Amino acid sequence: MELDDSDMKRAARQETQKVRVEAIQSLVAEVVRERLSETAIQSVKASSGVDDDGDPVVYITVVFDTKNNLLDTEKVLGLARHLKAKFADEEINRFPIFRYISKKDAAHLKHEAA
String of b and e for 11-24 (b: at least 16 CB within 10 Å)? eeeeeeeeeeeeeb
Give the domains, in start order, of the chain with CATH numbers.
Answer: 5-113 (3.30.70.1350)
Question: Each residue of 23-45: pLDDT tens digit?
Answer: 899 999 999 999 999 899 999 99
Q: Which helix (H) or strand (E) holds 102?
A: strand 95-102
Please calculate the CA angle 55-25-38 and round it to the nearest 5 degrees.
Answer: 110
pLDDT at residue 111 greater than cutoff 90? no
| pLDDT over 90 percentage in the chain | 52
pTM, full prediction: 0.77
Question: What would the mean pLDDT of 82-86 be, rounded to a whole number?
Answer: 93
* DSSP code at position 29: H
H helix intervals, the chain: 5-35, 73-89, 103-113
Report strand pairing: 40-50 vs 56-65. Answer: antiparallel
Q: Which helix (H) or strand (E) holds 101?
A: strand 95-102
17 or 32, higher pLDDT: 32
